[in-house]
Structure 1
Amino acid sequence: MKKIFILLASAFLYTAASAQTTWTVDKAHSNVKFTVTHLLVNDVDGTFKGYDGTITATKPDFSDAKVAFTVQTATVSTDNDMRDKHLSGPDFFDVAKYPTLSFTSTGITKTSDKHYKLVGNLTLAGVSKPATFDLWYRGTITNPMSKADDAGFQITGTIKRTDFNFGSKFGPAMLSDEVTIKANGEFAKAK
């Protein structure tokens, strides 16, 4: 009887210790941005206004985190209506055909305290390719307003447009092949 009790207690403690926690993006305190170089001399920034994201982890330092992010491509904004309309069309995002772009992580490796390499699959304009981003876990705090735990993250990295056949009519003299991505996210712990 004592052995059964010990086994049950061990199973319960293992399950509790390895319980997966889900964190959901707080859109009021987050953003998704990109930068591309125009005509080799000027950086143009853009944002997406519509997105969803979750992070799941069993460890408090997020060293086993899994990240999933979806962006609504029709929400692209560069503060220029004509350019935004062009970006939404078939030359670039083709939002009628590809309403979302997404990233799903497949692995995470700690590089230093609170810094990680995040590997996964990025899908853009119907093309899925492996992508690697830097993830900075900025910490966790109890939100004084909601009384819930909030965690902060920053994801940065560079992708090549040509890997995704994105904007292929425009060579690197017009638009850089490299596109820098930066996402700042505040995530609320699910209750």
Structure 2
Amino acid sequence: MANTKWMVDVAHSSLDFSVKHMMISKTKGTFHDFEATIEADPDDLTTANIEFIVDVASVDTRNEGRDNHLRSADFFDVEQHPKMTFKATNIERTSDDEYDVTGDLTICGITNSEMFSVTSEGQGKDPWGNEVAGFSGEGKINRGVYGLTYNAVLETGGVVVGDEIKISIEIEVQKAA
């Protein structure tokens, strides 16, 4: 099958993250507003064109004060860098339904190559006859390489915010008309 254009069903998709807090727990969050351009054969993603654009101001950790701090110049600086982007540059199949997707991730104007493990969750038709497919992805990034270095030292040792950010993506797409 040739590459087909797919639209993200945002009601059935999520872009989530977690980070260590005070060296003892994890804080989780999500980005509510994102879009993607996906041109792919869901049976073989190795030739896919994948791009994500994330509205960084849509960050939500269920704490308004923390979310506003994340939007500030201490972290994402959404006034200067309102978007985070990812563009796949290489996709390798690692098993029947699993892939390593490498691409350019840009946060706060800084671009680095990152790899995400992606699983094709299957495809079919929804109750209205539309062709749909689902994908899950996971990866880890170091926030410091994107200039996200804000932190505070704890009296007991360690820091308030961990360096490693775990990213989890759940995407449902519908074949474009």
Matched, 1:136 2:119: yes
Runs of 5+ unmatched residues, structure 1: 1-16
TM-superposed CA distance for 1:49, in Å, is: 0.8
- Going from structure 1 to structure 2, the CA distance change for 1:165 and 1:86 (only over 3 Å counts) comes to same
Q: Which has the larger radius of gyration?
A: 1
Cα distance per residue 1:125-182 (max 9 Å; x no partner): 110010000010101111113x11111001110000111111x131662211100000
RMSD: 1.4
Give the alignment's TM-score, normalised by structure 2: 0.92
Letter of the 1:155 partner, please give it.
G
TM-superposed CA distance for 1:66, in Å, is: 2.1
Runs of 4+ in 1 over 4 A off after TM superposition: none
1:182 counterpart (142, 159, 168):
168
Partner of 1:124: 107
CA contact 1:66–1:107 (8 Å) conserved in 2 = no
- 61-70 or 29-38: bigger deviation: 61-70
Matched, 1:169 2:155: no
Runs of 5+ unmatched residues, structure 2: 153-157
Tell me the distance in 1 between the aligned counterparts of 2:3 and 2:25. 44
CA contact 2:22–2:159 (8 Å) conserved in 1 = yes
**Percent of pairs with identical residues:** 35
TM-superposed CA distance for 1:60, in Å, is: 3.1
Partner of 1:78: 61
Count of paired positions: 172
Give the alignment's TM-score, normalised by structure 1: 0.86
Alignment of 1:58-137 (within 5 A): 58=41, 60-137=43-120
SS of alignment partner, residue 64 of structure 1: strand
